[in-house]
Amino acid sequence: MKNMVLVIGANGQLGSVLVKALRRTFGVKNVISSDVYCKNKSEDIFEVIDATDMTRIQDVVIKYKVTQIYHLAAILSAKGEENPLATWQVNMKTLFNVLEVARKNNLDKVFFPSSIAVFGQGAPAENTPNNVSLDPTTVYGISKVAGENWCNYYFNKYGLDVRSIRYPGIVGYQSLPGGGTTDYAVDIFHKAVLNKKFQCFLKKDTTLPMLFIDDAIRATLEIMSVPKTDISVRTSYNLSGISFSPEEVVHEIRKLYPDFEVTYQPDFRQEIAATWPKSIDDDKARKDWGWKPQYSLEEIAKIMIKKLRNYYHTDIRSLESLSV
């Protein structure tokens, strides 16, 4: 049967890049991008969807004969703390709507992104395994734990093929994150390339699990492409890329911008980060669907700087030395 893919929350950091990758895989006409407003007027197929409205999702699914949904809409960890109950409503209602539409229309597959935010202090901070006690401290984390369990429930009760990854912080040049605790790791590169000072909201030695955008996209496509029987984890898979702290990023950036200035002013996001793992054991993803990250911090820094320089049209130093 033909694949027809709907991406909900396509304006976000992951969605905007994932839509392009899905279009390369399935063909431009077979991927529908959607969000609460249209960001890119030249978008190939775009539908306005507020995912809190189940009827709207249903209408688009019927209109295009959708077979797969990637449900990326959510309010992230830091932003979510501004209004915990509203965050819970949005994150859970949109997931229930997607799961119900998928069940009622017998969709082939659903993708649900989870996060390292599911972990709290009850989990070991180093090499955090897939199966540990989950005691998140943010409403975002609570909604992801609940969401994972609901995905597992829909698989067990209705046979709905929902697949999920616990993403670390995602570092990419094509899009900006919004409202997360790991956002500094993108913002810092923009400031460096623009020759601005950077004020970091985390302490300099706060190590967190991170993942380059290309690895994140590849992981998403890989988990969704393997046979259903290969997926043994129906809550969500741990996924590891690299781990680094702000001072380690600064070290890489100063190789090209020796005068880059950074100050540290930890805020409430430091407390969130302090409850998250430093590194992740992703053994199950490696065994079940062959996951292997490709990018080191050094490579990520080089690519981020090169791409952002192109984006901002700066040419302060020779790019030749980057050799990426």
By CB under 6 A, tell whether 10 contacts ligand SER: no
Under 8 Å between Cβ of 237 and 166: yes
- Binding segment toward ligand SER, per CB under 6 A, in 25-33, 113-121, 146-154, 241-249: 113-121
By CB under 6 A, tell whether 117 contacts ligand SER: yes
Nearer to ligand SER, 69 or 76 (CB): 76
Nearer to ligand SER, 10 or 208 (CB): 208
The least CB distance from residue 170 to ligand SER, in Å, is 6
By CB under 6 A, tell whether 167 contacts ligand SER: yes
Tokens 């791409």 belong to 307
Q: Catalytic residue at 184? A: no
By CB under 6 A, tell whether 76 contacts ligand SER: yes
84 to 101, 137, 268: CA distances (angstroms): 26, 11, 15
The residue nearest ligand SER at its CB is 180
The least CB distance from residue 194 to ligand SER, in Å, is 22
Tokens for 83, please give them: 């209004």
Q: Which residues contact 104 (CB under 8 A, 6 or more apart)?
A: 58
By CB under 6 A, tell whether 180 contacts ligand SER: yes
The least CB distance from residue 252 to ligand SER, in Å, is 20
**3-class SS at 252?**
helix
Under 8 Å between Cβ of 18 and 45: no
Nearer to ligand SER, 140 or 295 (CB): 140
The least CB distance from residue 216 to ligand SER, in Å, is 11
Q: Distance (Å, rounded) from C-alpha 266 to C-alpha 201? A: 4
Among 16, 175, 182, 206, binds ligand SER (CB under 6 A): 182
By CB under 6 A, tell whether 19 contacts ligand SER: no
Tokens for 167, please give them: 């993403």
Nearer to ligand SER, 168 or 224 (CB): 168
Instruction: Indicate if the alpha-carbon torsion angle 43, 49, 51, 57 is positive or negative.
Output: negative
Q: How many residues bind ligand SER (CB under 6 A)?
A: 11
Q: Which residues contact 285 (CB under 8 A, 6 or more apart)?
A: 165, 219, 223, 237, 238, 239, 291
Under 8 Å between Cβ of 168 and 240: yes
- DSSP codes of every residue in 144-189: HHHHHHHHHHHHHHH---EEEEEE-EEE-SSS---S-SSTHHHHHH
How would you label 179-208 residue by residue, b for 16+ Cβ within 10 Å and e otherwise? bbbbbbbbebbbbbbeeeebebbbeeebbb
- Binding segment toward ligand SER, per CB under 6 A, in 179-187, 217-225, 231-239, 259-267: 179-187
Among 137, 181, 206, 275, binds ligand SER (CB under 6 A): 181
232 to 17, 55, 133: CA distances (angstroms): 27, 32, 19
Out of 140, 167, 173, 184, which one is annotated catalytic? 140
Binding mask 259-298 for ligand SER (x = CB under 6 A): ----------------------------------------
By CB under 6 A, tell whether 77 contacts ligand SER: yes
Among 33, 87, 91, 115, binds ligand SER (CB under 6 A): 115
The least CB distance from residue 203 to ligand SER, in Å, is 16
By CB under 6 A, tell whether 175 contacts ligand SER: no
Tokens 């302060």 belong to 316
Tokens for 302, please give them: 């080089």
Enumerate the active-site residues: 140
Instruction: Using CB under 6 A, list all residues that contact ligand SER.
Output: 76-77, 115-117, 140, 167, 169, 180-182
